[in-house]
Amino acid sequence: MGSVNLSTYDGLLHLTVASGGFYTRENRGSWRVMRPVFADYGHPVVPIRIVGQTPGLKGGDTQRLSLDVLPSTWCHLGSVAAEHVLPAQGRWARQRLAIRIGYGSRLWMASEPLIPHAGARLKRRMTVQCETDSLLAVEEWITGGRIGCGERFGDLRVDSRMTVIDEEARLLMHDRVHIGPMSTLAMSSVPVEAYWSLVLVGWRAPHIKEVLADHGALAMESAKTLVIRSLGTFSEVRATKEAVTKILEPLFFAEKPVLPVSPV
Q: Taking a C-beta distance cutoff of 8 angstroms, is the pair 115, 82 a contact? A: yes
Provide the pLDDT for residue 160.
93
Provide the pLDDT for residue 179.
83
Q: d(Cα 36, Cα 44) in Å, to the nearest integer? A: 13
Provide the pLDDT for residue 264.
41
Provide the pLDDT for residue 16.
95
Planar angle of CA 30, 36, 42, nearest 5 degrees: 130
Provide the pLDDT for residue 130.
96
pTM for this prediction: 0.87
Q: d(Cα 51, Cα 13) in Å, to the nearest integer? A: 11
Provide the pLDDT for residue 166.
93
Provide the pLDDT for residue 76.
93
Provide the pLDDT for residue 99.
97
Provide the pLDDT for residue 196.
92
Provide the pLDDT for residue 251.
84
Provide the pLDDT for residue 197.
92
Q: How many helices (H) and strands (E) does the chain have?
A: 2, 18
Q: Where are the domains of the chain?
A: 10-181
* CB environment 35-65: b (16+ within 10 A), e (fewer): eeeeeebeeebbbbbbebebebbbbbbbbbb
As a residue count, the chain comes to 264
**How do the pLDDT tens digits run along the chain, 264 residues long?**
344 455 677 889 999 999 888 888 888 877 788 776 555 666 788 989 988 777 788 888 899 999 999 999 999 999 888 888 888 777 899 999 999 999 999 999 998 888 888 888 899 999 999 999 999 999 999 987 766 556 667 678 889 999 999 999 999 999 998 887 755 655 555 667 888 999 999 876 656 666 666 766 777 777 788 888 888 888 888 998 998 888 888 888 887 665 444 444
Q: d(Cα 229, Cα 216) in Å, to the nearest integer? A: 9
Provide the pLDDT for residue 206.
59
Q: d(Cα 83, Cα 65) in Å, to the nearest integer? A: 15
Provide the pLDDT for residue 150.
61
Within 13 Å and on the Cβ side, how many CA atoms surround 116? Answer: 32
CA 163 centroid distance within chain: 12
Q: How far is CA 206 from CA 28, 110, 126, 179, in A?
A: 42, 20, 27, 31
Tell which residue, 162, 171, 227, has the closest CA to residue 199.
Answer: 227
Provide the pLDDT for residue 11.
86
Q: d(Cα 162, Cα 95) in Å, to the nearest integer? A: 12
Amino acid at residue number 228: I
